[in-house]
Amino acid sequence: MKVEGIQINDFNSVNEGLLLVERDAPLPEEKAIIEDIPYMQGFLDFSMLLGERVFNNRTLSFEFVSGKLEYRRRTQLENRVKRLIGLNNEARLYDTHNPGFYWLGKCISIEATDNAQFSKINFYIEFEVYPFMIRNKNHFDDVWDDFNFEADVAGYTQFEVDGTRTISLYNAGDTTVKPTIFVEVEE
């Protein structure tokens, strides 16, 4: 059985003996650029002025519970978690739920609740992160067959044109792509 968890800088929830109870990664909120002009019917929505939707950062939340620990160990663990996570700047947040990807962000909240009845401590941790996950590998690395059938998109990148031809290019990803077109003329 795979143990789920997160890692950011020197903190690794699995190594700290924390069990991931709940993970929440909602969709990011869209940036709305709305102008309500006096004496005009309705309003103008400039949100897609550049041809794509733009999003704010999103908040990820994780809930962890420790194993059975004596009180002194629970307080030490609380201080350690707060020190390792809470004091860092923006960093890569790895989540075992999405291997091969990371989130870029920082911790915005750590709540620790001591459960004396069961000798455990619960953590509720929130991160503010960039709206989209980032892949660990850059494109065109030396692994010749690293196509991810669940997330990657295949498309034609070369076209033969004799005369005139209309070609539609689609960006199936979640980030802006500005294609560069090279033309080779045979004489």
Domain containing residue 108 = 6-135
Is residue 186 assigned to a domain?
no
Q: Is residue 146 one of the residues assigned to a domain?
A: no
At residue 139's C-alpha, the angle toward residues 136 and 143, to 5°, is 85
Per-residue pLDDT tens digits for 59-96: 999 999 999 999 999 999 999 999 999 888 899 999 99
Dig out the tokens for 14 from the structure: 């699995």
Q: Taking all residues of the chain, what is their mean pLDDT, rounded to a whole number?
A: 86
- How far, CA to CA in Å, does 6 sit from each of 10, 60, 138, 163? 11, 11, 22, 55
Taking the model in full, what pTM does it have?
Answer: 0.72
The CATH number of the domain holding residue 22 is: 2.40.30.200
Domain count, the chain: 1
Alpha helices for the chain (secondary structure H): 71-86
Q: Which pLDDT tens digit goes with each residue over 4-33? A: 999 999 999 999 999 999 999 999 998 888
Q: Tell me how far apart the alpha carbons of residues 98 and 135 are, in angstroms, rounded to a whole number.
A: 10
Q: In this structure, is residue 184 part of a structural domain?
A: no
Dihedral of the CA atoms 155, 99, 175, 44 (nearest 10)?
120
Joined tokens for residue 31: 């940036």
For 103, the 3-state DSSP assignment is strand
Q: For residue 156, give Cα distances in angstroms to 4, 142, 169.
A: 37, 21, 9
Among 89, 128, 133, 130, residue whose Cα is nearest residue 109? 128
Tell whether 18 is covered by a domain.
yes
Confirm whether 17 is domain-assigned.
yes
* Dist. CA 54–CA 33, nearest whole Å: 10
- The answer to whether residue 177 sits within a structural domain is no
Residue 173 located in a structural domain:
no
| Whether the predicted pLDDT of 174 surpasses 80 | no
Phi, psi of 40 (to 5 degrees): -115, 140
Under 8 Å between Cβ of 133 and 101: yes
pLDDT one-digit tens code per residue, 105-163: 999 999 999 999 999 999 999 999 999 998 887 655 555 555 666 666 666 677 788 88
